[in-house]
Amino acid sequence: MKYYRLWVLSLFLKVVGSSWDASYHFKYFFEEYSIPHLVNFSGFALGGVLLIKEYKKTTYLTHSARIWITIGYILFIIGIPLDFTYHLLRGIDLTTWSPTHFVYYIATGIMIYGVWVGYYHFDSKNPSWKSLHTFWAFFMVEALIFPCMQQENGAISLFEYLHHQSIASKEILDLIKDPKSQIFGGVPDWVYPVYSSSVLILFSIILWNLFNDMKIMVTATAGYILYRYIAKAIFYLVIYPTSFVPIMALVIPIILLISRRKSVFSCMIAGLGYFFILYLIQVSGIAITPPITWSMYILVLPANVISFYIAKYFVNFYKKGLARFKKEAIV
C-alpha cells in the first residue's frame, strides 16, 4: 500500500536525522539548521503532507489514527521552541535525557502508534513479521531506546577524550571540565541497563500479546541493530563520533520467542541474558560499552519485573478497545 510505504519513508527519515543528530552533538555545537535537523524535518514534513491529505479526503486512516497522529504532531511542534530555548540557555547540550528531548520521543511514539492503528485496520487478520507491522515495531524500538544513545555515543567519546583521540570540535573540548559527567549527560551509570532492558521487555510483551507473534519483535530488533551498524560504519568513514551498538537488545525477544511463555519468569531470564551479554562484551574488550557493574543487576531485576506487569496491565486495558479498532469504519 503506497500510502503506508510513504509513512515508512517519513519515519525512516526521522530515524536517520535523529541518529545523525545524536552523533553531531558529540562533535559540534547545537545549530537550529544543521543538516541532521533538516533530514529529520523532511521526514516530519512528509508525514504532515500525508496527514493533511487524509483530512481533505479520508482514504487510508481511521478516525482514531488521525487523532493520534495529530496529537503527536502538535506535541512535536510544541517541543521545537522548547528545545531551541533549552539549547540556547544551556549552550552545550550533550544529553539525550533532557526534558525537551523527551517531548520529542513521546510525540514521535504517538505518531508511530497512530500510523500503526491506521495500518492495523487494513491488516489485522494475520499480522506477520513479513508485513509493515515489522517496520512500525522497528520505529517504536528506535524511539523507545533512543535516549540510550547518550551512553552509547558517550562511552566511545569518553574513551577517545581520555586517550587524547577526540574528534570533537575545539569549542566543545574547551567546555569540558568534568569529562564523564558532561559526556554522559550527568546520568548515573545504572540508568542505561535498567532503562534499556526494561523498555524492551515492556514493548516485547505488549507486542507479543497483541499480535501473538514474537517474530515481529525479533525481526524489528534485528533490523534496528543492522541499521545501527550501518550508521556506525558511515559515521566512521566520514569522521563523525560513533557509538556502541546494543547488539544485546536482540537477546530479549529471542529468549522470549524460545521460551514461548508470556511469564514474568521468562522476562527475568531475558533481562538477565541482556545484562550478561552486555557485561561480557565489556569485560572481554570486544567493544567499548557504557560502564556497568554486576551490582547494577540489583536494580535491573525489579525494573524488568515491573515492566512485565505494566505491559500486562496495558494489554488488558487495550484489548477492551481492540474490537472497536477492528470494526471501525473510515470516516
- Which three-class secondary structure string do you get for 99-157? HHHHHHHHHHHHHHHHHHHHHHHHCCCCCCCCCCHHHHHHHHHHHHHHHHHHHHHHHHH
Rounded Cα distance between 76 and 151, Å, is: 24
Q: For position 207, what pLDDT does the model report? A: 94
Do the Cβ atoms of 209 and 262 come closer than 8 Å? yes
Q: Which three cell numbers stand for residue 37?
A: 535537523
What is the C-alpha to C-alpha distance for residues 16 and 39, in angstroms, rounded to an integer?
Answer: 7
**3-state DSSP call for residue 22?**
helix
- Taking the C-alpha atoms of residue 275 and residue 255, their distance in angstroms, rounded to an integer, is 13
How would DSSP label each residue in 172-238?
A: HHHT-SSHHHHHTTT--TTHHHHHHHHHHHHHHHHHHHHHS-THHHHHHHHHHHHHHHHHHHHHHHT
pLDDT of residue 32: 63
How many beta carbons lie within 10 A of that of residue 57, not counting itself? 7
User: CA distances (Å), 249 to each of 56, 219, 228, in order?
Assistant: 41, 12, 12
One-character DSSP codes across 233-270 = HHHHHTT-------GGGGHHHHHHHHH---SHHHHHHH
Identify whether the C-beta of residue 62 lies closer than 8 Å to the C-beta of residue 121: yes
Q: Identify the pLDDT of residue 175.
A: 79
For cell 493520534, the residue is 68
Under a CB-based contact definition with an 8 Å cutoff, are residues 305 and 267 in contact? yes
Q: Which domain holds residue 291?
A: 2-327
Indicate the number of domains in the chain: 1
CA dist list (Å): 172 to 72, 89, 94, 168, 222: 33, 16, 10, 6, 34
Chunked mean pLDDT (size 10), the chain, 331 residues: 94 96 82 81 96 92 94 95 78 73 94 94 79 96 96 94 89 83 89 98 95 94 98 95 96 95 95 97 96 96 97 85 52 43
Separation between Cα atoms, residue 76 and residue 74, nearest integer Å: 5
